[in-house]
């Protein structure tokens, strides 16, 4: 690429810039963020070559434009940048939901611009331009969801870009992406937010005790429950149907476990926990997590 433009300079936007630099994927990286403060901080860190004062200016002449803001902001950004996109450019994004992105952005995309949504399955619980790092996408999956009739060459170029950032790349339909991510990402976040909230609301166990004895398992939920509230509000507002579908399955399984605990059905519990342990093993075997005890933490 000659020029890429990144709109939204938080965790994901800054990580793309760092990784694109590392891989020498573009001659010029332009960045823009709606926040004056973020633009200033990003300028000091220096992962972009230019940080103009408007999104329109950032995308001008860019071969690849990537939206890295919260999904709820996409529609307004698309409306603003659409007239400034270069013919032949690729417009993409990193949003955690894909059906809603197609709905919100596609109507603004001018003829001759290739709109190919994408989603890197990589992240941390941190936000902001300081939290980005070049190796975030290494060995992780990026999913492209090109709409029907997308230009194959543009899809191949975007795929090569994500491989250059360190990712492995899959291509699937937006609707299927939203269902897969509802169970692998969105529901786990909802559960984590819920369990941490429940612990805070318990009356017979003090907050001090919850924190002091958190190494019993609670602590691992708190990492996920510390994720950015704006981003996750937008995820649940924009993937409602798929989240409700998997939440229904989850509630059924939870009722089954509740019955087994109530009835003292040890066989059922043992069989269930054995099945889930195999999933953890498969995640480690495919290199998607560390096999080190306690996620590689030094102390329990």
Contacting residues toward ligand NAP, per CB under 6 A: 7-13, 33-35, 38, 68-71, 73, 76-77, 94-96, 119-120, 123, 127-128, 228, 231
Q: 41 or 265, CB closer to ligand NAP?
A: 41
Query: What residues contact 247, with CB distance under 8 A and at least 6 apart?
Result: 187, 190
Report, in Å, the least distance between residue 13 CB and ligand NAP: 6
Q: 228 or 265, CB closer to ligand NAP?
A: 228
Q: CA–CA separation, 118 vs 111, rounded Å?
A: 20
Q: 34 or 102, CB closer to ligand NAP?
A: 34
Q: 120 or 146, CB closer to ligand NAP?
A: 120
For residue 184, the 8-state DSSP code is: I
Q: 72 or 212, CB closer to ligand NAP?
A: 72
Note the helical H segments in the chain.
Answer: 11-22, 36-45, 55-59, 74-81, 99-105, 152-164, 174-181, 187-201, 207-212, 218-225, 229-238, 240-263, 266-285
Would you state the structure tokens that stand for residue 266, as one six-digit string? 């040890």
Report, in Å, the least distance between residue 264 CB and ligand NAP: 40
Report, in Å, the least distance between residue 16 CB and ligand NAP: 9
User: Is 15:134 a contact under the CB 8 Å cutoff?
Assistant: yes
Report, in Å, the least distance between residue 265 CB and ligand NAP: 37
Angle CA 229–231–235, to nearest 5: 110
Tally of CA atoms within 13 A in the half-sphere of 13 that contains its CB? 30
Report, in Å, the least distance between residue 247 CB and ligand NAP: 19
Report, in Å, the least distance between residue 123 CB and ligand NAP: 2
Q: 227 or 268, CB closer to ligand NAP?
A: 227
């Amino acid at each position: 690429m000659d020029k890429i433009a990144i709109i939204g300079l938080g965790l994901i936007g800054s990580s793309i810039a760092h990784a694109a630099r590392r891989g020498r994927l573009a001659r010029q990286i332009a960045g823009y963020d709606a926040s004056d403060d973020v633009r200033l901080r990003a300028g000091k860190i220096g992962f972009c070559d230019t940080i103009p004062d408007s999104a329109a200016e950032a995308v001008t002449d860019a071969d690849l434009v990537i939206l890295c803001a919260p999904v709820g902001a996409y529609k307004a950004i698309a409306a603003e940048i659409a007239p400034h996109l270069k013919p032949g450019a690729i417009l993409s994004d990193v949003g955690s939901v894909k059906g809603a992105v197609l709905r919100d952005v596609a109507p603004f995309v001018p003829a001759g611009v290739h709109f190919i949504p994408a989603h890197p399955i990589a992240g941390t619980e941190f936000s902001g331009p300081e939290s980005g790092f070049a190796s975030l996408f290494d060995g992780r999956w990026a999913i492209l969801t090109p709409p029907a009739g997308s230009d194959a060459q543009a899809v191949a170029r975007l795929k090569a870009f994500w491989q250059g950032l360190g990712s492995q790349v899959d291509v699937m339909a937006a609707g299927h992406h939203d269902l897969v991510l509802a169970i692998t990402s969105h529901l786990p976040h909802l559960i984590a937010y819920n369990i941490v909230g429940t612990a805070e609301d318990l009356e017979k166990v003090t907050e001090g005790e919850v924190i002091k004895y958190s190494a019993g398992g609670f602590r691992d939920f708190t990492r996920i429950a510390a994720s950015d509230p704006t981003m996750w509000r937008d995820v649940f507002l924009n993937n409602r149907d798929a989240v409700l579908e998997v939440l229904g399955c989850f509630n059924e399984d939870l009722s089954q476990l509740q019955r087994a605990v109530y009835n003292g059905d040890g066989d059922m519990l043992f069989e269930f926990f054995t099945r889930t342990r195999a999933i953890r093993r498969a995640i480690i075997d495919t290199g998607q997590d560390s096999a080190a005890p306690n996620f590689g933490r030094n102390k329990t």
